[in-house]
Amino acid sequence: MSKIGNKPITVPETVNVAVEKTLIIVKGKEGELKIKLPSFLEIVREGNILKLICKSQEKKAVSQQGLFRQLIFNAISGVEKPWEKRLEVVGTGYSCKMQEEDLVLKLGYSHPVIFKKITGVKYQVEGNNKIVVLGADKQLVGQVAYLIKLSKKPDSYKGKGVRYLGEKIKLKPSKKVKATGSTV
């Protein structure tokens, strides 16, 4: 029995949810998301409350019930208030800025790193070293933020690079040069 899968989902009045057999369409002020349910799951609507019912009692089916309940909940939350991931650029000479709808990063390479506009995701820059990735789809926002982070992973000695805001980097001790006592 799935604890999460059996929890009801309350739909706010600002969000419109359409249920068509195995397709759920969630619309709100931040956009529209579609979720396709597997055949062993059924969704029941009672007013502004959605319940996910599992037709099968197999272990895989019950675990999928919890997964899809959370996906629907995340979609409803995302179209009402966008999901966000915050990143910071750390390092001397490292910076970020917006160029129309594209994100431009200077990360110590011989060229700037440009992230083109992705449908469903917005970028914001605060100051010249903080990036905010916004969007209705939680998975897409996390994936884009991770790709931005991969453009320059934090250095393990100085901590320079792109990291999530508040992320702690465990720095290695610096490499020490052995002093040789040479006599002339």
Residues 88, 160 share a domain: yes
Contact 50, 101 (CB under 8 A): no
Residue 39: inside a domain, yes or no?
Answer: yes
DSSP string, 86-99: EEEEESTT-EEEEE
Residue 171: inside a domain, yes or no?
Answer: no
Question: What's the mean pLDDT in 8-21?
Answer: 92
Residues 87, 156 share a domain: yes
- Give the predicted TM-score (pTM) of the model: 0.85
- Name the residue with higher pLDDT: 62 or 164: 164
Residues 94, 157 share a domain: yes
CB atoms within 10 A of CB 142: 14
Question: What's the mean pLDDT in 25-46?
Answer: 92
Overall number of domains in the chain: 2
The residue out of 80, 95, 130 marking a domain boundary is 80
Residues 106, 54 share a domain: no
pLDDT for residue 1 is more than 60: no
pLDDT digits (tens, 9 = 90+) for 143-178: 999 999 999 999 888 889 999 999 998 999 877 776
Residues of the chain with pLDDT > 70, as a percent, come to 95
Residues 72, 17 share a domain: yes
Q: What is the CATH number of the domain that holds 101?
A: 3.90.930.12
Residues 148, 114 share a domain: yes
Residues 92, 157 share a domain: yes
Q: Using a CB cutoff of 8 Å and minimum separation of 24, what contacts does 51-54 make?
A: 51/6, 51/8, 51/9, 52/5, 52/6, 52/9, 54/2, 54/5
Tokens of 165: 């805001």
Residue 178: inside a domain, yes or no?
Answer: no
pLDDT digits (tens, 9 = 90+) for 123-133: 999 999 999 99
CB atoms within 10 A of CB 175: 6
Residues 53, 93 share a domain: no
Residue 169: inside a domain, yes or no?
Answer: no
Residues 112, 75 share a domain: no
Helix, strand counts (H, E) of the chain: 2, 13
Output the pLDDT for position 115: 95
| 107: containing domain | 83-164
Residue 58 phi/psi, 5° resolution?
Answer: -70, 150
Residues 129, 87 share a domain: yes
Question: What's the mean pLDDT in 177-182?
Answer: 67
Confidence bin at 179 (pLDDT 50/70/90): low
Output the pLDDT for position 57: 86
Question: What's the mean pLDDT in 14-18?
Answer: 94
